[in-house]
Amino acid sequence: MREPSNLLLERWRGGHRDKGTTLRLLYYAWYAWSRQMEPPVRHRIEWGPEESSALFEEIFDEAKLFESDDPEALIAVSLMLGLFYFYLPQTRDWRKIGMACTKKAQELKPEGFPEDYFDLRTPYGYFMALHLADRPLTDVTTLWSED
């Protein structure tokens, strides 16, 4: 059986840019480079930190996530960057980008997402539900300090 991360990467390389493919692959790319602090046993992602950080940037740029009006996409980027932005190559100010994504998501959907919004059968869905389900997005500011 092929790993979901590789299947999503094939879809992405094949030109699929739907929200599900984009956000789930972004999660796997994020997880792969952030796993420098965790053992890679959970999802068995084959990409190393360099390849995965380049893929994260590629997805972020091609999907125009910073320009998005989708609160889920914005808050997903914010959560991922808020937890491990310092592992990405410092090609841009990821901290500032994460803070801007948080603010825009809060403006678009301050009430947050209902408990059953995220698909708990996927690692991305579980990650998002763990951090966001059934709580207002205004609580997410705790990821970013203004210092």
Q: In the 3-class helix/strand/coil scheme, how is 72-93 assigned residue by residue?
A: HHHHHHHHHHHHHHHHCCCCCC
144 belongs to a structural domain: no
145 belongs to a structural domain: no
- Domain residues for the domain of 120 are 4-137
Model pLDDT, residue 42: 56
**Largest Cα–Cα distance in the chain?**
46
Model pLDDT, residue 1: 42
35 belongs to a structural domain: yes
41 belongs to a structural domain: yes
Cα–Cα dist 63/112, whole Å: 22
Cα–Cα dist 48/56, whole Å: 12
The pLDDT averaged over each successive group of 10 residues in the chain (147 residues) is 82 96 94 69 71 92 93 92 80 90 92 87 89 76 56
147 belongs to a structural domain: no
93 belongs to a structural domain: yes
143 belongs to a structural domain: no
3-state secondary structure of 42: coil
142 belongs to a structural domain: no
pTM over 0.85: yes
How many domains does the chain divide into?
A: 1
